[in-house]
Amino acid sequence: MTLVSKISENIYRIRHFRNELPRESLLSKYGIINTCFDGNKTETEQYDGDTVSVGREEYKLCFLLSSEDSGGFDIKLSLDKNDRLFGLGDESRNCMEKHGKIAHIKTENVYSYGPMPYLMSSRGWAILVNCTYEHVFDIASTEFDKLHIYGAKGALDIFVFCGKDMKEALYLSGLVIGRPVMLPKGAYGLTVVLNEQTNAQRLLDYALRFKERDIPCDILGLEPSWMSKHYDFSTEKSWNRERFPIPYWKPENYYGSWSFIWNLHKMGKMLSLWLCNDYDLFWKEEGDFFREEKKDFSDAAINDPHFFKGRRLDTLTKSEEPWFEHLKKFVDNGAEAFKLDGACQIDIHPDRLWAGRYTDDEIHNLYPVVYAKQMKEGYEQHTGKRAMINTCGSYPGIQKYAATWAGDTGCTPSVLLSLMNFAMCGHSNTSFDMESDAKEKIHIGFLAPWSQHMGWENYLLPWYCGDEIENCYRYYAQLRSSLFPYIYSFAAYASKTSYPLLRPLCLAYSETAEYDKVYNEYMLGDSLLVSAFDTHVVLPEQDEWYDFYTGKLYTGEKEFDYVLPENKGGAVFVRAGSIVPMQPHAPALRDYRPEKLYIHVYPGKDTSFELYEDDYSTYAYQKGESAVTKFELKNNVLYINSRQGSFEGMPEAFKFIIVWHHPDGTQTNICAESSDSTVMIKAQ
């Protein structure tokens, strides 16, 4: 039997079963994905056959379905010759277009940190498989014209999104999978993870040194040495008081002038703590269901027969205590960010029973998302504010709760490819471990959606790397700080549309198949084209481009070897017909709001830009509490519209300095005031 539910315009849910409708996937059960929408009446039709078609006027998708009562499913879809296929998240790092690929949807340490059972066509349709068990995408590999999806366990349950193009497919997908969350303000600056030898004194000295050397820095992170027990997986963890003293005569959740974190905050920095996890998070997720079923799972741990005499696998979990409960004291101390290391959370536990009922093969892919979910929700409930939660593991829904980084894989072209593949699934807040031993790594690290410099076991802080590296690092750190209004505005756009901040050229210029294999370039927002790891540049022919560094306008040749200016690690171009807001850089973003912004205008095609503001620290933006100032460029005239919207604590409107860029590389500055009516500025 097949059930086809139209849950919203151009969104279909298809379920297939032999006898009884199987239980919901845990993605659905825990509310990680949405299966219905408020105000929408779901229309469900029942079919007796194994074939079903859905689609829109431009195309129809015909699925051949098969499932077994004992579990397992099989889906086939005939592909059109014009289908170019993208997605799958961080399942692998060797391509973007997926024809000919066999992909195993299984989280693996280092090799597959974030597989996503999501595939999108250049024609505008996409499929999400609602299953947490391992399964396989055979993408025109065994049969050249077929997409074949199959799994040995799990129910046949898919969502089909029928957009007119990939941008609309991502928008529709976000209604089910969830939109990217907005991070706190400082998270869009620079995060530096410090050496494990760091103590409280060094931490504060490093914060001061960043400020003295005019290198903007926003979050400083501590690795496992912050804990009294190295790699403490338990809920009994505490500060290593020799390295990070909290006065013994104060309560354990103390925050005040006797605390090193208080001093760190006075310098405008946030503190991030490394965490490891092997806790059974599913007792909390199942809590309400247990109460409804009136079952007792108090002694549900099982023994592992692989060990001599057997061994109880889970000696850490307190089924009555949610994981975040013991972290509240560290939040009270002043921790505002948490790095969720891959340690154990993405390992396989073949004999483990989760919450007394689920085997590991069903939980394994899902664990990182539930971990991020409980961290995000726990922090929000405890503080009323946004968390900066970042993790390496992921699965559909992760974008609702956390940022991700590409795990312990350094800073390489393949790591950039993982971010691009995430972008093709609508995941926006992505990054990797920036390394500061080479200018090309600094360049790409600061021009990612969020920036994390990894110094876990090295001494590669910029002032230890020689003047050339330090000068390069300072330039990009200041640039990152200055670009905050631009970056934050497009992060907000992603949170509304699922159209990511980092966009591969094959997404930004989806009609051009040749860009499917351009792995060293991407758009950062609408206007900035970033080239990384390779000085051979391809400029999309659909537009003209300004060199960000020199102001030179490229109108002819669109493929060439770029010569890098001094202290630069890669090329940056600005699309002609762009509006790019920038601010004076600051030591840290957290408490910084400049009086004026520089609105850079790059003439070309008519365009617009919406400068977005909110309180930068709570989730009130999800209730519409925000403000937008719209800039429009028409026939070489800039229109500044009045600021619309409001939020608690909204300051006075910015003053603007319009920086008009000319094709000869020169520029003109024009002062402007925001107004209750539209301000018109002509090129000079």
683 or 161, which is more confident? 161
Same domain, 486 and 617: no
Residue 352 has pLDDT above 90, yes or no: no
Q: Is the pLDDT of residue 646 over 60?
A: yes
Q: What does the alpha-carbon distance between residue 524 and residue 449 come to, in Å, rounded to a whole number?
A: 8
What does the pLDDT average to over 305-332? 80
State the average pLDDT over residues 677-684: 81
Q: Average the pLDDT over 454-474 and give the result.
A: 95
In 3-state terms, what secondary structure has residue 112?
strand
What's the structural domain count of the chain?
A: 3
| Boundary residue ending a domain (177, 212, 234) | 177
User: What is the structure's pLDDT at 556?
Assistant: 76
Residue whose C-alpha is closest to residue 465's, from 506, 434, 444: 434
Query: Which among 624, 634, 616 is positioned nearest to 683, based on CA atoms?
Result: 634
State the Cα–Cα distance between residues 652 and 631, nearest whole angstrom: 18
**Angle, CA 99 vertex, CA 97 and CA 104 arms, to 5°:** 90
pLDDT at 302: 52
Residue 301: is its pLDDT beyond 70? no
User: 12 vs 51, 126, 158, 301, CA distance in Å?
Assistant: 15, 11, 8, 39
Report the share of the chain in percent with pLDDT over 90.
85
Residue 353 has pLDDT above 90, yes or no: no
Distance CA 297, CA 290 (A): 8
16-25, 613-622, 670-679: the lowest-pLDDT one: 670-679
**Residue 461 scores a pLDDT above 90:** yes
The answer on 396 and 265 residing in a single domain is yes
- Among candidate residues 144, 177, 210, the one where a domain is terminated: 177
pTM comes to 0.96
Q: Specify the DSSP class assigned to residue 313.
A: S
CATH number at residue 101: 2.60.40.1760
Output the pLDDT for position 18.
Answer: 87
3-class DSSP state for residue 486?
Answer: helix
Residue 618: inside a domain, yes or no? yes
> Are both 231 and 162 inside the same structural domain?
no
Tell me how far apart the 2 most distant CA atoms of the chain are, in Å: 84
Residue 606 belongs to domain with CATH number: 2.60.40.1180
Mean pLDDT of 594-599: 96
Q: Please check whether residue 168 lies inside any domain of the structure.
A: yes
Distance, in Å, from the CA atom of 468 to the CA atom of 505, rounded to the nearest integer, reads 31
How crowded is residue 212: how many other Cβ atoms within 10 Å of its Cβ?
10
Least confident of 31-45, 178-192, 538-552: 31-45
* Residue 167 predicted with pLDDT over 90: yes
Q: What's the confidence (pLDDT) of residue 88? A: 98
Instruction: Give one word for 595, left, alpha or beta, with left for phi > 0 and alpha for psi -120 to 50.
Output: alpha
Query: Is residue 367 assigned to a domain?
Result: yes
Give the containing element (helix H, strand E) for 320. Answer: none
Question: In terms of domains, do 197 and 62 share one?
Answer: no
Instruction: Give a yes or no: residue 315 inside a domain.
Output: no
How many helices (DSSP H) and strands (DSSP E) are in the chain? Answer: 13, 41
Q: Angle at CA 117, nearest 5°, toward 519 and 77?
A: 95
Amino acid at 29: K
Of 553, 557, 555, the C-alpha closest to 536 is: 557
- Give yes or no for residue 306 having a pLDDT over 70: no
In a domain, 298, yes or no: no
Q: CATH number of the domain at 357, please.
A: 3.20.20.80
Residues 136, 244 within the same domain:
no
Specify whether 228 is located in the same domain as 164. no
| Per-residue confidence band for 227, with pLDDT thresholds at 50, 70 and 90 | very high
Integer Cα distance of 68 and 60 in angstroms: 26
| pLDDT confidence of residue 371 | 98
- Provide the 10 A C-beta neighbour count for residue 358: 18
Residue 48 is predicted with a pLDDT of 86
* Average pLDDT rounded to a whole number, residues 9-22: 92
* The pair of three-digit structure tokens given for residue 480, joined into one six-digit string: 């990152």
Which range of residues forms the domain containing residue 82? 2-177
Confirm whether 568 is domain-assigned.
Answer: no
Q: Is the domain of 207 the same as that of 173?
A: no
- Indicate whether 165 and 198 sit together in one domain: no
Per-residue pLDDT tens digits for 554-583: 987 789 999 999 999 999 999 999 999 999
* Per-residue pLDDT at 677 exceeds 80: no
Rg (C-alpha) for the chain, rounded Å, is 25
Q: What is the mean pLDDT of residues 111-136?
A: 97
Cα→Cα distances 211→88, 474, 481, Å: 41, 11, 13
The single-letter DSSP state of residue 92 is -
Asked if the model's pLDDT at residue 254 lies above 90, the reply is yes
Dihedral angle, C-alpha 524, 525, 529, 530, nearest 10 °? -10
pLDDT digits (tens, 9 = 90+) for 648-672: 999 999 999 999 999 998 999 999 8
Determine, yes or no, domain membership for 243. yes
Residue 207: partners with Cβ closer than 8 Å, 6 or more residues away: 217, 220, 264, 267, 269
pLDDT at position 297 is: 52
- Please report where in the chains the tokens 């390295």 appear, as a residue: 243
Cα–Cα distance, 70 to 332 (Å, whole number): 49
Q: Are residues 77 and 214 in the same domain?
A: no
Question: In whole angstroms, what is the distance from residue 257 CA to residue 651 CA?
Answer: 29
If asked whether residues 143 and 222 sit together in one domain, one would say no
Question: Sorting pLDDT into bands at 50, 70 and 90, what band is 639?
Answer: very high
Model confidence over 17-71: pLDDT tens digits? 988 888 999 999 999 999 987 666 778 898 888 999 999 999 999 999 999 877 8
Compute the half-sphere exposure of residue 254: CA atoms within 13 Å on the CB side of its CA: 15
Measured in degrees and rounded to the nearest 5, phi and psi for residue 27 equal -60, -40
Q: What is the pLDDT of residues 390-436, one digit of tens each?
A: 999 999 999 999 999 999 999 999 999 999 999 999 999 999 999 99
Residues 243 and 210 in one domain: yes
Distance CA 434, CA 484 (A): 19
Does residue 369 have a pLDDT over 90?
Answer: yes
| pLDDT greater than 90 at residue 299 | no
Tell me the pLDDT tens digit for each residue of 63-112: 999 998 778 999 999 999 999 999 999 999 999 999 999 999 999 988 89
Rounded to whole angstroms, how far apart are CA atoms 286 and 304?
23
As a whole number, the mean pLDDT across the chain is 94
Look at residues 496, 527, 546 and tell me which one is the last residue of a structural domain.
496
Q: Taking phi first (over 0 means left), then psi (-120 to 50 degrees means alpha), and beta for anything else, what does residue 309 get?
A: left
One domain, residues 150 and 221 = no
Closest Cα to residue 620, out of 645, 595, 656?
645
Q: Would you state the pLDDT for residue 49?
A: 86
Task: Name 112's bridge partners.
Answer: 108
Closest CA to 486 of 407, 563, 400, 572: 572
Closest CA to 601 of 535, 660, 677, 676: 660
81 found inside a domain: yes
Question: In this structure, what DSSP letter does residue 373 have?
Answer: H
Mean pLDDT in residue range 473-487 = 98
Give the mean model confidence (pLDDT) for residues 450-472.
95
